[in-house]
Amino acid sequence: MSRIIVITSGKGGVGKTTTSAALAMGLAQRGKRTVVIDFDVGLRNLDLIMGCERRVVYDFINVINQEANLNQALIRDKRCDHLYVLPASQTRDKGALSKEGVGRVLEELSQTYDFIVCDSPAGIEHGATMAMYYADDAIVVTNPEVSSVRDSDRMLGILSSKSRRAETNAEPIREFLLLTRYDPHRVESGEMLSVDDVQEILALNLLGIIPESKAVLTASNAGIPVILDRDSDAGQAYGDMVARYLGEEVPHRFLHAEKKGLLSRLFRG
Amino acid sequence: MGLLDYFRSTQQKGTANVAKERLQILVAHDRAARGCPSYLPKLQQEILEVIRKYVDVDLSAVSVNYEQEESHEVLELNIILPDTGKHRI
């Protein structure tokens, strides 16, 4: 049985693609056959974050339109044998993502793969609703910030009403919260919503807290999913997230600011 | 963060609290509006027009609430009539 996971948020720039790349890589590293699909037609970026942008020949829309078959379009990751990337089209209109076409491709992928990770575009338009429609699980990526939390709540409403599971009265989509760009220093000084604040409003199963980290930009600069940076806080936090997703009990880390001496407080740049 | 900033930031604590309070109100409001039929604002407007033919009520005097419960839906109309002396008829 393959599981379809949508990475969604509503708001843009919160870390959906970073999370999709990390989750897919993390699952694949644990031996799960995984494919990650970019649903952001016209603004594809997953290929860049995965570092396979120069190997894109055919894309998701080509497969939907049957101009190429899946094997031609799927890009095998060079770092991990179990991981494949299905890039979005850069040129087509997002209307090309038909519900039937997406369903057919997902059905075909589910014959081969254990996990299908769908990287949703921002917003609540067609591309985003297509990314979530067939999902079994949803990871709602949220920043501790008012507009992001509000948009996440909106997304939860859409997940529970406009998905295949909702329409067929099947068991609802499992919803998880991933809090990203979390800055414990600012939380402790009362400047930033804490994980408890966000949970009080969204009340979701907390899959992880990814700290604000320089490693994320460094990783995207190089086209290496940040989860591969095992020395970084964000990389470790994403590793924990994957473990939790697979049902392991892992305590949350990076929740508290490191204690600093007086001198480093005074002279911090 | 320099020395001055450090003292400044300790003085103006607590915008996170403001954010949380605003969000709680906003999200509750958003959730109430979700799942409501889209004709609700127009319904409210037309009911108000009919009532105003007979009674001089304020624009905010009519509220329409829609609630969805497990087996049934409730459409609640709340009209605040003015004191008897102010009736047009």
Tell me which H or E stretch contains B68. Answer: strand B62-68
Each residue of B67-87: b (16+ CB within 10 Å) or e? eeeeeeeeeeeeeeeeeeeee
Q: Order the strands of the A83-86 sheet from edge to edge.
A: A75-76, A83-86, A34-38, A115-119, A3-8, A137-142, A174-182, A205-211
Average pLDDT over residues A122-139: 95
pLDDT confidence tier of residue A269, bands split at 50, 70 and 90: very low
Dist CA A21 CA A226 (whole Å): 8
* pLDDT, tens only, A10-51: 899 999 999 999 999 999 999 999 999 999 998 999 999 999
Domains annotated for chain A, with CATH where assigned, are: 3-250 (3.40.50.300)
Asked whether residue B86 carries a pLDDT value surpassing 80, the answer given is no
* A29 conformational bin, left if phi > 0, alpha if psi -120 to 50, beta if neither: alpha
Backbone angles phi, psi at A24, to 5 degrees: -60, -45
Percent above pLDDT 90 for chain A: 88
Chain A contact present for B35, CB below 8 A: yes
Instruction: Confirm or deny that A16 is annotated as ligand binding.
Output: yes
Q: Which pLDDT belongs to residue B55?
A: 83
Full domain range(s) for residue B73: 22-31+38-83
Name the DSSP class of A144: S
- Chain A residue with minimal CA distance to B30? A154
- List the one residue out of A46, A42, A40, A35 whose CA is nearest residue A5: A35
Mutation test of the interface with chain B: which of A140, A143, A150, choosing the one with the most B Cβ atoms within 10 A? A150
Q: Are the beta carbons of A149 and B30 separated by less than 8 Å? A: no
Instruction: Confirm or deny that A19 is annotated as ligand binding.
Output: no
In a domain, B1, yes or no: no
What CATH number does the domain containing B56 carry? 3.30.1070.10
| Higher per-residue pLDDT: A170 or B80 | A170
In a domain, B62, yes or no: yes
In a domain, B16, yes or no: no
Average pLDDT over residues A193-220: 96
ipTM of the prediction greater than 0.90, yes or no: no
Cβ contact A12:A122 at 8 Å: yes
Q: Which pLDDT belongs to residue A94?
A: 67
Cβ under 8 Å to A: B residues 56-85: none
pLDDT confidence tier of residue B84, bands split at 50, 70 and 90: low
Dist CA A142 CA A193 (whole Å): 11
Chain A contact present for B18, CB below 8 A: no
CB pairs under 8 A between A and B: 54
* pLDDT, tens only, B8-57: 555 456 899 999 999 999 998 888 777 677 788 788 888 888 888 888 88
* pLDDT, tens only, A229-262: 999 999 999 999 999 999 999 999 999 887 766 6
In a domain, B75, yes or no: yes
Q: How far is A144 from chain B (nearest CA, A)?
A: 9
Chain A contact present for B9, CB below 8 A: yes
Dist CA A25 CA A242 (whole Å): 9
Report the domain count for chain B.
Answer: 1
